[in-house]
A and B are shown apart, each in its own frame.
Chain A
Amino acid sequence: LLNEGIKCAHGASSSHQEGIAVSFVFQALLAVRRVLLAQHTAFPVSGADLYEELLSSTAILSTGNPSLDKLLDSGVYTGEITELSGGPGSGKSQVCFGVAVHISHHLKQRVMYVDTTGGLSASRLLQMLQAESSNVEEQMEALQRIHIFHAFDIFSLLSYLYSLPATIQQVSVGGGSVKAVIVDSVSAIISPILGGKQNEGMSLMIQVAGVLRRIAKDFNVAALVTNHVTRGGGGGGGEVQAGLGLSWSHVPRTRILLERTESAGTGHCSVRSATLIKSSRQPCHIKEQFDLQWWSTSKEGSAAKRKLDDSDSR
């Protein structure tokens, strides 16, 4: 029946029945239509069922840094995309490392880390882990729970993301489920293909967004992405805004802008200020300051070590 000339499901559903029914039995056509609809439509779910499902499956993953957690309303939520944007050297990758280490060590869950800039180094991860625990075996276990993938162009990223559901199932067999997918940075791959007259760039960007969201929702993982910044306004000198344009701005549920602080101290400063620029839970534009070194300082020491916030000691 399907070979006869019904090329696509839309044609079958919306065309006049009389036109095609010349050589078909009307009932058969109805049956085909029903099957096609059943196969391809999305099924409605009652709000109550959805709520119950969400209640039992949503988790909030702490980032390991209390000031960041305060901004994010106690952590990164699963089922959503959270975005970190900032200029070069503002600490986005460091924050990603810290979150990955915290999840794999403290929460004992797996992390899928997609590195697009080549900025990931295992020795830095190890350094952070060594501050968390001095047991070598624990460190190795935690490192094993971080799965790394290098993607340097949009197509390999897309193919990785499309195959992620299968990978997640495979990986979860060995104990510990995947709880976070970190893409650092999504703008490094996408901004070269945007611009100009071609539309493929925007379409690929929206495809990446769609796949990430679907994975976050279906597998209850937290998606964390990083983004660069641009200056807004007509001609130079506007305020700093997150990059990738207006169409991307609808994609993440929560957005944070990282900046270096103007501290009166000496050159190297590891304190960054984070501003909440989009959130569905908190009022916007609340600022927090935090120290990038938080993840590498040993928590087992005395309380005196926490005074590293001023970053005078180095």
Chain B
Amino acid sequence: MAESGAQLFARLEPRRSLKHIEPRLFPDDGGPDHGEVVELHGTEGTGKTELLYHLLCRCVLPAAAGGLETDVVFVDTDYSLDILRLVSILDSRLSAAGGLEEAELRSCLSRLLVVHCSSSSQLLLTLHFLETAFSSRPSLSLLLIDSISAFYWLDRCEGGASVSKQEEKLSKCSELLGRLLRDYRITVFATSHAIRRSYRSPDAPGSSSSSSSSSCSSSEGERPYLCRSWQRLVTHRLLCCRAEAGGNMAAAAGGGNKEQRRRQVFSVHCTSSSSSSSSSSSSSSRLKAYRSSSFYVTDGGVVFI
């Protein structure tokens, strides 16, 4: 398709790299670079949406408040975007950086574009539509999808008995995403829900952090259920789970303070696989790097431990 000179320029101009968006989450020197996809996976209530808000805020905040000042597109497939919560996080970050003005908040919010989708066909068409948005706004460097697995059961039922038909729509979306990633060099973050409960033996009461980390690694073994083309796209996989470390924190903080609120601690386990780009051998080895971190949620957003 013919494109104008301006579009060509917008396409080739390097977008803002998000490599350093959150060094505490990703393995050293392994942040999401151009054209990489990060998938946040976990059961409900494990802090995936909070992490997403944290990353979103990091992107839209002005540089004075510690942000990257880039534009973000948020594709909301299950109406779970809580703008009020997002605004409260932005508020606390802006006021921590000094000076809370209505205009600044508004300019941060105007860097965010929100799209609601209600079926995977609509998602596919919306991604086509967003291509024009990408080509016309060179500051748009992040695409957030929450969540990519929302239409899983609907597609599965529509596809009937054949697995390929079931996965057809999501694989088309993934292929389109792949093309957008290559052409426009953006980064994609997506959440997916865990749908199979892993039955493991109940933890002993008063569990230490070691057993909580084992419960996290057991869920690593669960099979990813989304289609293969999506799995091929994902370069970083963040597994979120809950850790029962609240008691430990209170004990460590000092015995006199009985008012210590039991905080729910979440832990994230990051698996980054990147194919080695320098080698020209026929077999491209996939390097895997791991990193675990924990955080808890406060009114002002996510605080890493």
Q: Does A173 contact B (CB under 8 A)?
A: no
Q: Does B224 contact A (CB under 8 A)?
A: no
CB atoms of A281 and B109 under 8 A apart:
no
Which residues of chain A come closer than 8 Å to B84, judged between CB atoms? Answer: 54, 58
Q: Does A13 contact B (CB under 8 A)?
A: yes
Count of chain A residues near B, Cβ 8 A: 52
Nearest Cβ in chain A — how far from B188, in angstroms?
16
Residue in A44, A205, A213, A214 whose Cβ sees the most chain B Cβ within 10 Å: A44
Q: How many angstroms between the C-alpha atoms of A204 and B157 in the bound complex?
A: 9
Nearest Cβ in chain A — how far from B75, in angstroms?
9
Q: How many angstroms between the C-alpha atoms of A273 and B128 in the bound complex?
A: 50
* Nearest CB in chain A to that of B112: its residue: A47
CB atoms of B83 and A13 under 8 A apart:
no
* Nearest CB in chain B to that of A277: its residue: B45
Q: Does A46 contact B (CB under 8 A)?
A: yes
Main secondary structure of the interface of B (DSSP, over half): mixed
User: Which of A51, A214, A277 touches B79 (beta carbons < 8 Å)?
Assistant: A214
Q: Does A167 contact B (CB under 8 A)?
A: no
CB atoms of A10 and B121 under 8 A apart:
yes
Q: Does B110 contact A (CB under 8 A)?
A: yes
Given A199-B157, A246-B194, decide whether A47 and B111 contact each other with a Cβ distance below 8 A: yes
CB atoms of B43 and A246 under 8 A apart:
yes
Interface residues on B, range: 35 or more
Q: Does B100 contact A (CB under 8 A)?
A: no
Residues 152-180 of chain B, each 1 if its beta carbon lies under 8 Å from chain A, else 0? 01101110000000000000100010000
Which residues of chain B come closer than 8 Å to A209, judged between CB atoms? Answer: 78
User: Which of B85, B128, B133, B153 touches A280 (beta carbons < 8 Å)?
Assistant: B85
Name B residues whose Cβ lies closer than 8 Å to a Cβ of A. 1, 43-45, 49, 60, 73-74, 78-80, 82-87, 106, 108-118, 121-122, 124-126, 128-130, 133, 147, 150-151, 153-154, 156-158, 172, 176, 193-197, 199-202, 261-264
Q: How many angstroms between the C-alpha atoms of A233 and B200 in the bound complex?
A: 7
Nearest Cβ in chain B — how far from A285, in angstroms?
8
Given A10-B124, A234-B201, A246-B44, decide whether A206 and B154 contact each other with a Cβ distance below 8 A: yes
Which residues of chain A come closer than 8 Å to B112, judged between CB atoms? Answer: 46-48
Q: Which one of A137-145, A247-255, A264-272, A298-306 is at the B interface?
A: A247-255
Known: A46-B114, A213-B78, A216-B79. 10 other contacts (CB 8 A): A45-B115, A205-B153, A210-B78, A214-B79, A246-B43, A247-B193, A251-B78, A277-B45, A280-B85, A283-B262
Q: Can you list 23 A-B contacts (CB < 8 A)?
A: A10-B172, A14-B124, A37-B128, A41-B125, A42-B115, A42-B118, A45-B114, A47-B74, A47-B108, A47-B112, A51-B109, A203-B154, A203-B157, A213-B78, A214-B79, A245-B197, A246-B196, A247-B153, A249-B45, A250-B78, A251-B78, A283-B262, A283-B264
